[in-house]
Structure 1
Amino acid sequence: MQSPERWWHRATGYQVYPRSFQDSNGDGIGDLPGLTSRLDHLSDLGIGFVWLSPVYASPMADMGYDIADYRAIAPEFGTMEDMDHLIAEARARGIGIVMDLVVNHSSDAHPWFRKARAFRDAPEHDYYIWRDAAPDGGPPDGRRAAFGGPAWTFVPEVGRYYLHLFSPAQPDLNWQNPRLRAEVYDMMTWWLDRGIAGFRMDVISLIGKDVDGGIDEEGPDLHTFLQEMHREALAGRDIVTIGESWSVSLDTALLYCGRDRGELDMVFQFSHIKEGWDEKLGKFRPKPLDIVALKHTLFAWQEALADDGWNSLFLTNHDLPRQVSRYGDDGVYRVRSAKALAMVIHLMKGTPFIYQGEEIGMTNARFDRIDQYRDLETLNHYAEQIEAGVPPQDFIAGANATSRDNSRTPMQWDAGPHAGFTTGAPWIEVNPNFPEINVARDRADPEGVLAFYRDLVALRRDHDVVALGRFEAILPDHPQVVAFLRRHEGTCLAVFVNLGASPAEVEIPQGIQGDGTPLLHTVEARGSLGATERLVPYEGFALLLDKG
């Protein structure tokens, strides 16, 4: 039995990376007034809520994911008045603002940490995770940080090491401290009272870590903390909560979002993303696209959350490459493959998320030099790999495929200077293909990517079978075609998408052959399904059949 319908079951989310969305004052950095000025673009798309990457006060060591004050806005993004104005203007258009909640760690510039590192007996010292040196005077253990280097840094003032699973500028918070947890819940309540529509929770599976037990993700107290968070800050509010976890699995997903758990509404899981990474070298050595493996993973998650919980649907975000470059063809078939990928994701069961620029088929940047990159992760791993003897051009090739900066280049609004993003010098280079790929040009094309996304968003909003229908995989082992059915109260939606760059033939299951109503297509409308169908490269179609 599925949970009762909620507003976000029919909504489509849209992630804004504010630094790169729209600059309003010519300093080359996107800001809140800039975002507010572009709300009509999101309203035209039919967006239900915006996930806003961090805009809090921060030294920006990790582009805002290192927060120095959870109740203040970074000056480069604007003011709290600008934030309130954004919330109000978005609400007037039927759009909620979902804030990024980053509470596994803070900035080392946060007043909590400044006191913690100065005085061992300060209450705030226990807001963080400290350990004494190993017998040899080195770090307590050999764990490594996600952004490179040791995960422990020594502070002479207190004679101890603190833990940072990302960078030294991002000390991990000690969730075992009840006073720290109360501070977090109070801050969350403060934001919810300002009228936001919920939270996306950054690496939330790390808050339950068992440091001495060697468990960083999904530790023994994780779900106790999430249930407490729900009781203290979230319960009784008509909001949406999405937890990010790089470790959540098919076996643990319902612990986060089962309807009776009292924790979260859904999780961002990355099984389908990691499936394409090299087992030893990780994201900077992506494997060639394996369509069968990709759809097996996507289908497995559909099945796991078929009757409980809820799926989040995405291929791209601020940490991932552009999906048309990673999974499609960003050359001759860019438009067609952008539509095909969108059809696969948006017509499955769950809440789809559009990452800024995805709706016009923006591509990876493909920089030539390391000095063009701004991402802390990329720069740190470059230094480590060059020291290990990796040729610079080899690392750049990998970064061009998977670096986080691929999705962080400025939004391409028009063919004017800097793609209409800023009147100044942008903080990171604009993708040079902006004269051909931009919102203004795509909007003028009734067959463009933007129009296709608008139709997808409307289908979820208006059709019960898309928003609520149960999922049924078909042709799971076809090497190119992703095919599935959605069924709801006597209505059947049949979806077929060729994700290959060559034609593909499929045998149509007998039970769904026949006439139907074409809802969406990337190449041409199809009104019937015969015994076999031939799909040209990146052709996709969805037919509404009167078969339950």
Structure 2
Amino acid sequence: MPASHRPDRQNAPAWWQTEVIYQIYPRSFQDSNGDGIGDLAGIESRLDEIVALGVGAIWISPFFPSPMADFGYDVSDYCGVDPMFGTLADFDSLLAAAHARGLKVILDFVPCHSSDQHPWFVESRASRSSSKRDWYIWRDARPDGSPPTNWIGEFGGSAWTWDDTTGQYYLSVFLSEQPALNWANPDLRTAMLDAMRFWLDRGVDGFRVDAIIFAAPDVDGGDHPPNPDWTPAMGPARSQLQTRLAHQPGVFDVVRDMRRVTDSYPDRVLIGETSGTLNDVMPYYGADMDLFHLPFYFAMLSTPWQADALSALVARYEAALPDGAWPTLVLGNHDISRIASRAGVAQARVALTLLLTLRGTPVLYQGDEMGMDNATIPHNRVQDPWERRVPGLGLGRDPARTPMPWTDIDHGGFSTTEPWLPLHLPPEGSFARQATDPGSMLNYARRLIALRRAHSALSQGTYRQIHVGPDVMVFERRAGTNRLVVCLNMSATAQGVSASGVPVLSSCGNRVEAFVRKLVLAPNEAVILDVSPGG
């Protein structure tokens, strides 16, 4: 039976199957101490706004001690809080406050590399005989002195960094300040799993695991071949096929160990940043569903914003899911251009509707509920190391990381001083302005999430494609007798749809019809129809 038609066999779905997860980029969420950078106390101060949105969990990007070469993804202590973001006491307070409001808390875990200032690496590079030498990946130069392989790093340049002290190269898949950890070393593996236990013991509800595809590189397997489909806009790293670096067999052993740790604590979730093709991602569920609960699939980020292309993508994804797997498609995050800019500002509500009505667990990136679009970052304010290393290609992530504009006062209520990135208002204005406007994007997001929570068809039901066309995407969600039809007009012209039912939500305001027999979608409109018996 195709996955899209399979009933959910689990009688009592887990919380991570029914809730919306809200991603918080802490540097840009709320500053509590006036330094222009968001922090943990700032997040705690905004929990009521998060609860009012209707989500059930927050995922917080890294706040661990770090030199901030890559804004926290270069970790120098896996069991602490960087003073920039507060203290462990601040985290405990945030966790308790979130739990008291019924919110789950998910942390980022960065397993594939540390900071070059982590004590482990300082000791590893001290000498070739260091007790922690094998905690990282070291190799000799080629006879001509060049790196061991031709691998290109994710931010451009060689994926290998020369170290004068010991006369070897170390693997650094991202920045040279991010040396790759060697999970083949049992002591390193134990230390990293203990770091997970440290946070689980404090009460966190799970992890989103960063860049896991690079956890077990075949460093002695040779060079990468060129990518015949490469274009400059894909970035330097994609000019090669990462046949030895990404998705190697040992990765699954690493994830399986992480899952064992996670499962030893009740009611926790493990989410994977599993970038790649459909064939790359599906194995991360595990043959026995013993790897990630939710392996991210990122294809929607690069699919043309056209109804037929998106419908085909969802159909392929649903058909490929293993029996018992729970879906999670990604539409936005801190690493990609804002969806309101990719699809067009006029399509922001349609995009939000798609994210929150597809089968599976949606992850909503902060600001997308307000229709945030990309900011324009002046050259002298660029922060992202990726943009600095490969300027002009549009790969910089700063435009999607600007501070949350809470109010219309100076610095947007985010801080009392100039923020670390320029403030940028979404087209419909600040959070405060949208909160008082019944027709705003923010209030549409609240109604949409409430509808999802109220209808089992949306939170747990099956998915069935009804109409495929270049401009209109129509699909049914069904759980028992609860049936909803989602109609999305992805064009700027009115479109007729052969669908009937009771309109329960429209992105263009309240529809007055009690029942429609043929639906005419306004330009850029999303409509959800209740077609349940007696609906």
TM-score scaled by length of structure 2: 0.90
**How far apart, in 2, do the equivalents of 1:442 and 1:88 lie?**
29
Aligned partners of 1:493 and 1:543 also within 8 Å: yes
Structure 2 equivalent of residue 544 of structure 1 = 530
- Match runs of 1:139-150 below 5 Å: 139-150=147-158
Equivalent in 322, 328, 338 of residue 312 of structure 1: 328
Find the aligned partners of 2:209 and 2:43 in 1 and give their Cα distance.
Answer: 21
| Aligned counterparts of 1:302 and 1:224: Cα–Cα separation in 2 | 26
Are 2:434 and 1:442 equivalent residues in the alignment? yes
Of the structure 1 ranges 250-259 and 453-462, higher mean CA displacement relative to structure 2 is found in 250-259
Query: Does the CA contact (< 8 Å) of 2:275 and 2:298 recur in 1?
Result: yes
The equivalent residue for 1:375 is: 384
Q: Which residue of 2 aligns with 1:286?
A: none
Counterpart position of 2:520: 534
- Call closer, same or farther: CA 1:107–1:519 in 2, change over 3 Å: same
> Aligned to 1:273, which of 301, 304, 308?
301
Q: How far does residue 459 in structure 1 lie from its aligned partner after superposition?
A: 2.3
Shift of 1:503: 2.2
The worse-fitting range, judged by mean Cα deviation, of 117-126 and 100-109 is 117-126
Contact 1:321 1:404 in 2 (8 A): yes
Q: Is the 8 A contact 2:405 2:413 kept in 1?
A: yes
Q: What CA distance in whole angstroms lies between the structure 1 residues aligned with 2:15 and 2:162?
A: 48
Contact 1:152 1:163 in 2 (8 A): yes
What's the counterpart of residue 417 of structure 2?
424
1:518 to 488, 494, 503: 503
Letter in 2 for 1:41: E
Partner of 1:245: 274
Question: Are 2:297 and 2:329, in contact at CA under 8 Å, matched by a contact in 1?
Answer: no
- In the TM superposition, 1:23-172 aligns within 5 A as 23-172=31-180
Unpaired runs of 5+ residues, structure 1, are 277-288, 383-394
Partners of 1:362 and 1:162 in 2: CA distance: 39
Structure 1 pair 434/345, CA: closer, same or farther in 2 (3 Å)?
Answer: closer
**Are 2:366 and 1:360 equivalent residues in the alignment?**
no
Show the counterpart of 1:207: 215
Determine if contact 1:227/1:261 at 8 Å carries over to the other structure: no
Contact 2:355-2:362 at 8 Å conserved across structures: yes
Does the 8 Å CA contact 2:294/2:328 hold for their aligned counterparts?
A: yes
Match for 1:361: what amino acid? G
Please state whether the residue corresponding to 1:123 is helix, strand or coil: coil
Gaps of 5+ in 2: 1-6, 223-243
More strand by share: 1
Aligned to 1:280: none
Q: Look up the match of 2:227.
A: none
- 1:258, 1:308 within 8 Å by CA — same for their partners in 2? no
Which secondary structure state, in structure 1, belongs to the residue aligned with residue 278 of structure 2?
Answer: coil
Matched AA of 1:440: A
Q: TM-score, normalised by structure 1?
A: 0.88
* Cα gap change, 1:497 to 1:163, in 2 (>3 Å): same
Q: Secondary structure at the match of 1:543?
A: strand
**Structure-2 change in CA distance of 1:519 and 1:290 (3 Å):** closer
CA distance in 1, matches of 2:281, 2:428: 41
| Number of residues of Structure 1 aligned to a counterpart in Structure 2 | 503
The residue that corresponds to 1:392 in the other structure is none
Distance 2:490 2:409 in 1: 33
Aligned to 2:260: 231
Paired amino acid for 1:273:
L
Q: Deviations over 1:450-481 (max 9, x none)?
A: 111112222232211111111011222x1111
CA distance in 2 between partners of 1:128 and 1:181 (Å): 11
Residue 313 (structure 2) aligned to one of 291, 297, 305:
297
Which portions of structure 1, spanning 4 or more consecutive aligned residues, are displaced by more than 4 angstroms?
Answer: none
**1:319: how far off?**
0.3
Alignment equivalent of 1:497, drawn from 474, 477, 488: 488
Corresponding residue SS for 1:199: strand
CA distance in 1 between counterparts of 2:461 and 2:387 reads 41
Distance 2:197 2:111 in 1: 14
Structure 1 CA distance for aligned equivalents of residues 264 and 524 of structure 2: 44
Provide the C-alpha distance between the structure 2 equivalents of 1:343 and 1:436, rounded to a whole number of angstroms.
17
Q: Report deviation, 1:290.
A: 4.0
Work out the CA distance in 1 between the residues paired with 2:514 and 2:49. 32
AA aligned opposite 1:219: Q
Give the Å deviation of 1:328. Answer: 2.5
1:307 deviation in Å? 4.4
Secondary structure of 2:470's match? coil
2:470 counterpart of 1:475:
no
- Kindly indicate whether the alpha-carbon contact (under 8 Å) linking 1:362 and 1:437 is maintained by their aligned counterparts in 2: no
- Identify if the C-alpha distance between structure 1 residues 30 and 243 changes in structure 2 by more than 3 Å, giving closer, same or farther: same
Q: 1:80 to 1:139 in 2, by over 3 A?
A: same
Q: What SS does structure 1 have at the residue aligned with 2:78?
A: strand
**Aligned mates of 2:309, 2:449 — CA distance in 1:** 27
SS of equivalent to 1:56: coil
In structure 2, the CA distance between the partners of 1:436 and 1:255, relative to structure 1 (3 Å rule), is: closer
Taking the aligned partners of 2:413 and 2:185, their CA distance within structure 1 comes to 47
Q: 1:148 to 1:3 in 2, by over 3 A?
A: farther
1:355-385, CA deviations, whole angstroms, 9 ceiling, x for partnerless residues?
A: 1111111111123x42222111111111xxx
Distance 2:254 2:162 in 1: 28
Query: Do 1:415 and 1:434's aligned partners in 2 also have CA atoms closer than 8 Å?
Result: no
Secondary structure of the equivalent of 2:477? strand
Aligned letter for 1:373?
Answer: V
Residue-by-residue CA offset, 1:3-45 (whole Å, 9 max, x unaligned): 5211111111001000011001111010111111000000111
- Judged with a 3 Å threshold, the aligned counterparts in structure 2 of structure 1 residues 302 and 447 are, in CA distance, closer, same or farther, namely farther
The answer for the alignment partner of 1:325 in structure 2 is 341
SS at structure 2 position matched to 1:72: coil
Larger deviation, residues 19-28 vs 118-127: 118-127
CA contact (8 A) 1:258 1:309 kept: no
- CA–CA distance in structure 1, aligned partners of residues 427 and 462 of structure 2: 42
Matches within 5 A, 1:452-491: 452-476=444-468, 478-491=469-482
Q: Write out per-residue CA displacement over residues 53-96 of structure 1, whole angstroms, 9 at most, x where no aligned residue.
A: 00000000001000000111111100010000000000000011
Q: Is the 8 A contact 1:259 1:308 kept in 2?
A: no
Once residues 375 and 13 of structure 1 are traced to their aligned partners in structure 2, the CA distance between those partners, rounded to angstroms, is 25
- C-alpha distance in structure 2 between counterparts of 1:436 and 1:347, whole Å: 23
CA distance in 1, matches of 2:284, 2:32: 39
Question: 2:300, 2:310 within 8 Å by CA — same for their partners in 1?
Answer: yes
Partner of 1:343: 353
C-alpha contact (below 8 Å) 1:306/1:470 kept by paired residues = no
CA contact (8 A) 1:319 1:404 kept: yes
Identity of aligned residues (%): 41
Q: 1:498 to 1:324 in 2, by over 3 A?
A: same
Q: Could you say if the C-alpha distance between residues 436 and 348 of structure 1 is closer, same or farther in structure 2, counting changes exceeding 3 Å?
A: closer
Cα pair 1:346 1:456 within 8 Å, conserved? yes
